[in-house]
A and B are shown apart, each in its own frame.
Chain A
Amino acid sequence: MEFIFKKISSLSAAFILVLLTAVFIVLFLYAKPAIKKYGLHFIIDPRWDVSVPIKEKTPTKTNNIKSQKNKNNNIEVSDADVLAALGITNTNAKTETIYGGLVPLVGTILSTLIAMLFAVPIAMGIAIFLSEISPPLINKPVGIAIELLAAIPSIIYGMWGLFYFGPFISHIFGGSSVSLLVAGLVLGIMIIPFMASLTRDSMNTTPNILKESAYAMGATKFEVIKDIIFPYARKGIIGSIILALGRALGETMAVAFVIGGVFTFPKKITDPTVSIPVVLANNFAESSGMSLSALFYLALILFILSFIIIFSAKFYFLKNKN
C-alpha cells in the first residue's frame, strides 16, 4: 500500500515535467519551418503578413531601390511600398510573405507591464485592508466578493472593457476606445482580485504572537505591516504576484476585445496594437503552411517569455538571503 501510494504520487509529479517538455517539443516542431526561415530576426522584425519580392533582382533595380530608400530614410516604408511607389509591380517577380513577431511581442510586454503597475498597489491595498484593518463584519462579505470577482471568466471582463470601460478611458485620456492602455487596465482589473485574495491569505499566515510582540514593542499598525507582516509573508506575496503576472502574460479573450488587434507599434499609450495571444486566437483559423508555423513560433516565444519572466522573478525575489 505504502509502495503504491509513493509510486502514484511520484508519477503524478513526473507527469508535470513530461507535460512541460511535451508542450515545448510540439511548439518547437510546428514552429521549426518559421524558425529555419526567419531565425532570431523574427523577434525584431515588425512586419507581419507583408508581401515582399524575393531578392533575385537585377543589379540596376536594386541600386534604384537603395537610392530611393536613402532619400526616404526618415519615413518608415517597407520594401513593398517602395517598390510600389517606383512602379515596379513586375507581375513576373515572385513575392514572399514576411512574418515578424516584434509588434505582438512588444504589445504583450507593454500591456502586462501596465497591468502590473496598475494592479500590484491596489491588490496590496485590498489585502492589507482585509487582513489587518477591516472589522470582521466587513471582512467576510468583501472577501467573498473578491473571490467571486476572481472567478469571473475573462471574456466577461473583455466585453465590459469593450462596451463600457474602453469608451470611459478614451473619454478621459483621449485616443481610441480600444488601445494598449485599455488592454493593460482591463488586464489589471482582471488580476487584482486574484492577487489580492492570494496575498491576503499569505498575510494571514503571520502568527498572531509575532504581530503582538511587535505591537508590544510600541509599533503602530503601519509599522507592523511594513516590518513584520510583509517580510514574514514575502514569499507568498511574491508568489501571488508571479502567478498573476503569468496570467496577465497569457490572457487572450479579455485582451482580444480591447487591444485593437492591429499590427502597428503604439506610438502613444492610447494607440491600439496587438499581443501574442490575440494574434494566435485571431489568426489560427485561416492559417496554413508558413503562416501557421509563424504562429507557432510566436506561441513558442510566449512560452519562453513567460518561462524566463517567472523563472527570473522567482530566482531574484525568492532566493534565500544567505
Chain B
Amino acid sequence: MSEKLEKVMDIKNFSFTYNGANKPSLKNINLPIYFKKVTALIGPSGCGKSTFLRSLNRIHDLYPGNKYEGEILLKDIETGDMENILKYKKENELIKLRQRVGMIFQKPTPFPMSIFDNIAYGLRLMGKKNKKFLEEKVEEALKSSALWKEVKDRLKDDARGLSGGQQQRLCIARAIAVEPEVLLMDEPTSALDPLSTLAIEELVTKLKEKVTIVIVTHNMQQASRVSDWTAFMYLGELIEYGTTEQIFISPHEKRTADYIAGKFG
C-alpha cells in the first residue's frame, strides 16, 4: 500500500436516525472511501451496514422523516473540493448526486423495458437523446459488465427475460453507463447462484479501474476476495477499519476477530 491514496468520499461523525425511532441506527461513523478502491462493509445482520450505504446516495430521502447528522463529503471532480452531500436540499441536487453515486441492490431490478432501454435509461434521464451516442454507450457499458456477448443479438427483448445473474450484470451496466464516480453495492450477490456470484465478483475487481466501489456483503470470503479496504460494523457503530489484509489477518479489536472467526453473526 505504498501508492498514493486519494479520498473520493469522507464520512465524518455521521449518525443516522430512522423516522420515528428514538435511538440512532448509526452512531458517529468516521470512514474514508478511497479513489478506485473497493471498500467492503461487513458485519452481522442489523448492524447498519445497508443503512449506511443507503445514506451515501441519500436514497433514504425517498421516505420522509429520517434524520442525518454529521458530514458526508464527496469530491467534486472539477474543482477537487469536498462537498457535504447532506447539505443538498433541492431535488435537482439529489438527482445529480445519484447520477454521481450509483447503486446496485440485493436483488436484480431490471426495469419493465427492453435491455437497450434499461442501459440507456440513465443517459436518457440526463437528456442524452442522440441515437448513435446511446448505442455506443450501451455497447460500452455492456462490454464492461461482461454481458455484451450474451445479449448483443437481443437488445430489444424485455430485460426481465434474462437470468438472475445476467439481470444483475445488466443493473451494473445500467449504473456504470452514466459513468458514476462511486458505485454502491448492497449485497449484490445475495440472490444469485455461485457461478453468477463469481461473475459479479470478477466484474467488481475489473470495474475498480474505472470506478470507486463500496460493497456491503454478508459473505466474508467475498469481502476478502474483492476488497482493498474493509470496515467492520456492529450495532450501528464502526468497530474497525483498515486494509482488508490487516482486518482479516491481524484485527485489532476482539469483536472483529470473533466475527471473522465466525463466533457470532
Q: Which of A192-213 contact B (CB under 8 A)?
A: 207, 209-213
Does A218 lie within 8 Å of B111, measured CB to CB?
Answer: no
Kindly specify which of B23-31, B94-102, B135-143, B229-237 makes contact with the partner chain.
B94-102
Residue pair A217, B113 in contact (C-beta under 8 Å): no
Q: What residues of chain B have their CB less than 8 Å away from a CB belonging to chain A?
A: 57, 59, 62, 64, 91, 95-96, 98-99, 102-103, 105-107, 109, 111-113, 121-122, 125-126, 157-158, 171, 174-175, 178
Residues of A within 8 A of B102 (CB): 216-217
**In the complex, what residues of B have CB within 8 A of residue A232's CB?**
112
Verify B105–A213 contact, CB threshold 8 A.
Answer: yes
Q: Which residue of A lies closest to B184 (CB)?
A: A216
Contacts of A223 in B (CB 8 A): 125
Residue A63 interfacial (CB < 8 Å):
no
Contact B112 A215 (CB under 8 A): no
A219 touches B59 (CB 8 A): no
Whether the pair B112, A217 counts as a contact (CB closer than 8 A) is no
Q: Evaluate whether A218 and B107 lie within 8 angstroms (CB atoms) in the complex, with A228-B112, A231-B113, A322-B157 already known.
A: no
Which residues between 210 and 259 of chain A lie within 8 Å of chain B, taking CB atoms? 210-220, 223, 227-228, 231-232, 234
Which of B57, B62, B106, B158 is A322 in contact with, Cβ under 8 Å?
B158
A-B contact pairs, 6 of them (CB 8 A): A209-B109, A216-B103, A217-B122, A218-B126, A219-B125, A322-B158
Given A218-B95, A218-B98, A218-B125, residue A213 in contact with residue B103 (CB < 8 A):
yes
| Chain B neighbourhood of A228, CB < 8 A | 111-112
User: A135 on the interface (CB 8 Å rule)?
Assistant: yes
| Least CB distance, B35 to chain A, in whole angstroms | 21
Q: Would you call A321 an interface residue if the criterion is a C-beta within 8 Å of the partner chain's C-beta atoms? A: yes
CA distance A216 to B112 in the complex (A): 16
Chain A interface residue count, CB cutoff 8 Å, equals: 22
A209 to B168, CA, bound (A): 13
B-binding residues in A (CB < 8 A): 135, 207, 209-220, 223, 227-228, 231-232, 234, 321-322
The complex places the Cα of A322 from the Cα of B156 at a distance, in Å, of 10
> Residues of A contacting B158 with CB < 8 Å?
321-322
A217's partner among B91, B96, B175 (CB-CB below 8 A) is: B175
Inter-chain contact A217/B59, CB cutoff 8 Å: no
Inter-subunit contact B125/A213 (CB<8 Å): no
A209–B106 touching, CB < 8 Å: yes
Q: Which of chain A's residues have a CB closer than 8 A to the CB of B174?
A: 217
Contacts of B59 in A (CB 8 A): 212, 215-216
**A219 — nearest CB in chain B belongs to which residue?**
B125
* A residues in contact with B99, CB < 8 Å: 217-218
- Least CB distance from A188 to B in Å reads 29
Residue of A nearest to B99 (CB): A218
